[in-house]
Structure 1
Amino acid sequence: MQSIPVDTSRLGVLRCAVAPEAKISNYETQEVKKDRDGTTIYTVAVMVRQDGRRVSVIEIAVPGEPKGVVEGAEVRVTGLEAFAWNMGDRHGISFRASAITPVLPAGKGGGG
């Protein structure tokens, strides 16, 4: 599966639509998906709003729990990649990133 790097600077404002949830790899056993290093994979639904009012929601897989990411908060996505996939007659695009972090409001840098 070939990865396609995504330029997040062109995506406009990114906000968390659904807080991080551990990704389930087997719904029957409720087994949680892990990467090669044994780190739990989390999924975060992110709202993408470019010019105007049109909003899209994409689900992004990320290794490790994104701390401080809550619904409605502006987020920064690092290392975003897209993957085209198909299974039988189903197909789509999935996304993964190396990190998702909250964007702190100006003046809230923790120095006070």
Structure 2
Amino acid sequence: MSVTKHGGRTVKNIPVNLQGHKLMVTEAPTLKMWENDNGVQEVVTDRQGVQQFVVSLFAKRRAQPGEFAGKGEEIKVTLTADPGEGFEEGAYVQLVDATVSYWERNGRSGLSFRAHGMTPVGAQAPVAA
């Protein structure tokens, strides 16, 4: 876990356990893009030049018998590797090594989610190298 000073101490890359939630793909994974100062779209890469991907998921808590599940929420997750094929809209997935970070910029703030990848529900998660 790394700590960054940005208007105070902010904890980054906190491991997050979403196993008690159903995660459904609402927008299939695509390359993550950003707009440069000239208005040109560019692919987002990490410090090693590896392309990043983004997927939109609907996250909803799994209710236990007799419980109300409550409302869900759509989250965007940055994937640090190409997730591959088979993650179309409506597919249920699990995230691999998911983390969450708090951010603040220009008077706005929020949470950003990252994961090393994702697997279809019921599939074996890859072992970290």
Corresponding position of 1:25: 34
| Percent identical | 30
| Structure 2: distance between partners of 1:38 and 1:23 | 13
What CA RMSD, in Å, does the superposition of the two structures yield over aligned residues? 1.7
TM-score by length of 1: 0.83
| Structure 2: distance between partners of 1:70 and 1:103 | 13
1:3 pairs, out of 2, 13, 19, with 13
| Structure 2: distance between partners of 1:18 and 1:60 | 11
2:83 pairs, out of 53, 57, 66, with 66
Structure 2 runs not aligned, ≥5 long: 5-11, 64-68, 124-129
TM-score by length of 2: 0.73
Aligned to 1:35, what secondary structure does the other structure show?
Answer: coil
Structure 1 runs not aligned, ≥5 long: 106-112
Matches within 5 A, 1:34-45: 34-45=45-56
Corresponding position of 1:96: 114
Structure 2 contact 19–94 (Cα < 8 Å) conserved:
no
| Structure 1: distance between partners of 2:56 and 2:40 | 24
Residue 72 (structure 2) pairs with residue 55 (structure 1): yes
Shift, 1:35, TM fit? 1.1
How many pairs does the alignment contain? Answer: 104
Deviation by residue 1:44-87 (Cα, 9 ceiling, x = unmatched): 01111113252211100002321121110011101111110001
Residue type of the alignment partner of 1:43: V
Residue 15 (structure 2) pairs with residue 15 (structure 1): no
Shift, 1:13, TM fit? 1.3
2:103 pairs, out of 85, 101, 109, with 85
Shift, 1:8, TM fit? 1.7
